[in-house]
Amino acid sequence: MNTDNNKLRLRAAEARFGYQVAARLTEDTEHLPDEVVQRLKGIRHMVVDRQRARRQALARSPVLIHGHTATLGGPGESSSWRLRLGLLLAIPTLLFGLYALQHYQQERFVRKIADIDTALLLDNLPPQAYVDPGFTNYLQQGG
């Protein structure tokens, strides 16, 4: 998170420096010949166009998401429907996984109780042991 703050500070400092240079160039254009002013204006437009193209290229550059390549372009991009479909399928998959986990835990609990019942029924206990309150408490405590 600290590196993100440093990156933001660096970008802000670069932007401030750019604005200061642009303001300084704009102030001093009155003293320059018209030919130089036109050349500077052309260079500024060229830099702005390059920056715009760079931002658009970054927006369309492929990004790796869970081992699959996706682009971050607009809704008209060919793989954006794949990304949306993947995100849409993630929710039912998560719900199915939670259901399967709950079912597994319930089955394990039932098997544990069945093992206890089987052990009790196969053991040589007198019938009076089943009605003894102490034995019932022992079973309830997980004996």
Give the pLDDT confidence score for residue 67 in this predicted structure: 56
- For residue 72, what are the contacts with CB-CB under 8 A and spacing of at least 6? 59, 60, 61, 63
Q: Per-residue pLDDT for 102 more than 90?
A: yes
Q: Which amino acid is at 94?
A: L
pLDDT value at 134 more than 70: yes
pLDDT band at residue 112, thresholds of 50, 70 and 90? Answer: very high
pLDDT of 117 above 70 = yes
pLDDT of residue 77: 53
DSSP codes of every residue in 50-105: HHHHHHHHHHHSEEEETTEEEE---TTSTTHHHHHHHHHHHHHHHHHHHHHHHHHH
d(CA 40, CA 31): 13
Span 21-37, average pLDDT = 75
Using one digit for the tens of pLDDT, what is the confidence trace for 45-82?
888 888 888 878 777 766 555 555 555 555 445 567 88
Q: Going by C-beta distance under 8 Å and a sequence separation of 6 or more, which residues neighbour residue 25? A: 40
Confidence (pTM): 0.34
Give the residue-averaged pLDDT of 22-45: 78
Residue 126 has what pLDDT?
A: 75
Nearest to 25 by CA among 13, 10, 11, 43: 43
| pLDDT computed for residue 98 by the predictor | 94
Q: Between 20 and 69, where is the model more confident?
A: 20
C-alpha 63/C-alpha 83 separation (Å) is 11
